[in-house]
Structure 1
């Protein structure tokens, strides 16, 4: 049965199988391996060197003459043939012959070792490649069992700036929760800058992770966790998420943030993507907002697409008031009853992150002054 593959990867795999492990090649290898069993003995040549010392030992191929026992019995033998026999107890002679034999077959052994490594390396690489596809199949089966949607993305050109999705979710969260999770829709309208604000614990970080994972899966040639996903390829994808305090007290939290940002700046390239999650919040509101604004402006000038989750109101508001046409603004949804829907919707930045909601949920009987309600 003839199989037709449209995938460039599969066609390359089949071509490599034909080239690297052709039947003629495998047949030759099998014949050489059979001959190197030395079932008919070992034929070598040598020369006498200085001091009558042997050298130049080389393994020779035996003539492929298969004679019957009758022909072997009456076959004429060459005249100038000299033989010798070792005494069964001549250990030194046996060791000397063994060393001569090893010298003769060492070159052939090295060649066959290289061939074996070549074949083994091919199958090891093939195992790694097949493990990737098998992992994709297992992931698809798992997500389908959770009733989560998947799709093959629409891949745009490298210079494409539009980033959009319908039903996008964090695949890791779905796997950890073992159930269907809240998904989101978004469209950056080709602006290349998305600022996400809103309520604490409203799903902003989860939404940001979902975007990053979908981009990585798309560029790996996989399906993505969404009903529909469209994005341009990127040359680099970097993240700048907040971290816990340095337990070793080697540096302050803000120093650590700036150090990571400096390393990112050294490696970021045009047509890259940056995911920022509550970055530069370790300092005060005014300074953190100004630092974030300048860094975002510099990265945008370099052609980097930015997705920025922030509680820095001054930073988000400055873009809303002065550069609204250069960015898309999303906000984590919060109901009037303080409930989070974990949906991210279009909306202007608000001066509060509703942290008081969390306080009231954890301490329902307390007031902000710490007195108990009666």
Structure 2
């Protein structure tokens, strides 16, 4: 199993460690509920250094990215970033990711930890037509996500750059906690605001200690993967392996907004056809009307208790105090219905379809 640079720090903090995407990762420190609410109400710091980073550069870097990415990379410039998916040739998704434009001919792709090797192989295969330079720097960089309504106020003390001036999906390379060339990005996976910080792994301990410190004067909690998942689910954000995979279309997942029409890309004709004609299934959000916790792979039923879909993610929401979930339902079954049923261990429980996101600021 691979180790992240701050592994011993998390163990010393008493974190419950679990294997995730081949890494030994903190699931929680105190409790998922406490950490979840800390991010919604104050601030928390996540160590997500297991994520993968690729540098794509050269004269044909933009051409390669425009071909493998569903979104339109020409809409961003240095200092900006973009959420996108890499479609495969069969209608599904290789991965979802964020692309940062670092310079005129230099980009950084941040990919899911479970897909690092697969993504790299896929990108290199497509690059045979372009000849861009590709560097896997996943082991060289660490990533901390500082999230929550008070996150910016807390970490502003560590840099001269006015972080409040960063717009959504903008980033800057600046000094932070005494170190230069730290990338600070107005991005996140929680819906509570904040930034993500990329820096050389060799500086991990110093930067972590600056933020948290022995006395933790900033009152910022360390947050594990458990709360990361519950926070993203309250926002209705897709998780690769649950809502997205090699078979499911990004159109079905409601990601039409990251699919460009002006240039060809991998499987573009089929995806644009799906947008125009409508997909056969759609991702929905739902909440249970009584006690219960929906889980991935549970069946979604109509009022006749016939199976019409499947739950992809589910949990007990720490914020709302009820079971919520995401799942795919046959499009034809969604006409004029507001309620569905969830098969929870053989018992049919009523649920209400909710317009995403669940959490609205």
TM-score, structure 1 length as denominator? 0.21
Q: Determine which structure has more spread, i.e. the larger CA radius of gyration.
A: 1
Q: Relative contact order (C-alpha < 8 Å, sep 6+): which is higher?
A: 2
Q: Which has the higher strand share?
A: 2
TM-score, structure 2 length as denominator? 0.21
